Amino acid sequence: MTKGKVYFVGAGPGDVGLITVKGQKAIEKADVILYDRLLNPKLLEAAAFDCELIYCGKTPYTTGISQGEINELLVSKALEGHRVVRLKGGDPAVFGRVGEEAESLKDEGIPFEVIPGVTSSIAASMYAGVPVTHRDYGRSFAMVTGHDQTKKDIDWNGLVSIDTVAFYMGVANLPSIRENLINHGKPGNTPALVIQWGTYGRQESVEGTLDDIVERVSGRSLGNPAITLVGDIISLRGKLQWFERKPLYGQRFLVARTGTAKSALAEALYELGGEVIEFPKWNATKVKIEESQLLAFLSYDRILFTSPESVHGFLDSLTEHAIDFRRISSKLYVLSRKSKKALQQRGLTAELKSGMPEAGTLLVVGDRNRDLRDLAHGDGDYIQSITKFVDERFLEIFPRMLDGKAVGTVLFSNRHSVDMLMQYGNKADVDVEGLLKQASIGVIGESTGNRLQDYGFTSDMMPKEPSVEQLVDLIVNRNVC
Question: Which residues have a catalytic role annotated?
Answer: 36, 58, 169
Cis amide linkage into residue 225, ω under 30° from 0: yes
Q: Are 343 and 334 in contact (CB under 8 A)?
A: yes
Our CA angle for 101, 102, 103, nearest 5°, is 90
Residue 288 burial (C-beta neighbours within 10 Å; 0-12, 13-18, 19+): exposed
Q: Are 268 and 472 in contact (CB under 8 A)?
A: yes
H helices of 408-445, in order, are: 415-427, 432-438
Compute the distance between CA of residue 329 and CA of residue 120 in angstroms, rounded to an integer: 55
Compute the distance between CA of residue 26 and CA of residue 9 in angstroms, rounded to an integer: 8
Compute the distance between CA of residue 272 and CA of residue 251 in angstroms, rounded to an integer: 10
Q: Are 368 and 308 in contact (CB under 8 A)?
A: no
Total H helices, total E strands in the chain: 17, 21
Q: Give the distance, in angstroms, between the CA of residue 157 and the centroid of all CA atoms in the same chain.
A: 41
Terminal CA-CA length for the chain:
63
Compute the distance between CA of residue 191 and CA of residue 182 in angstroms, rounded to an integer: 12
Q: Are 38 and 44 in contact (CB under 8 A)?
A: no
Compute the distance between CA of residue 232 and CA of residue 227 in angstroms, rounded to an integer: 16
If one counts every other C-beta atom within 10 angstroms of the C-beta of residue 458, the result is: 10
Q: Are 76 and 31 in contact (CB under 8 A)?
A: no
Residues 6+ apart with CB under 8 A from 162: 140, 141, 142, 231
Comparing CA positions, the residue from 7, 65, 63, 1 lying closest to residue 36 is: 65
Kindly state the DSSP code that residue 407 receives in the 8-state scheme: P
Crossing angle of the two packed helices 98-107 and 67-79, in degrees rounded to 10: 40
Compute the distance between CA of residue 167 and CA of residue 198 in angstroms, rounded to an integer: 13
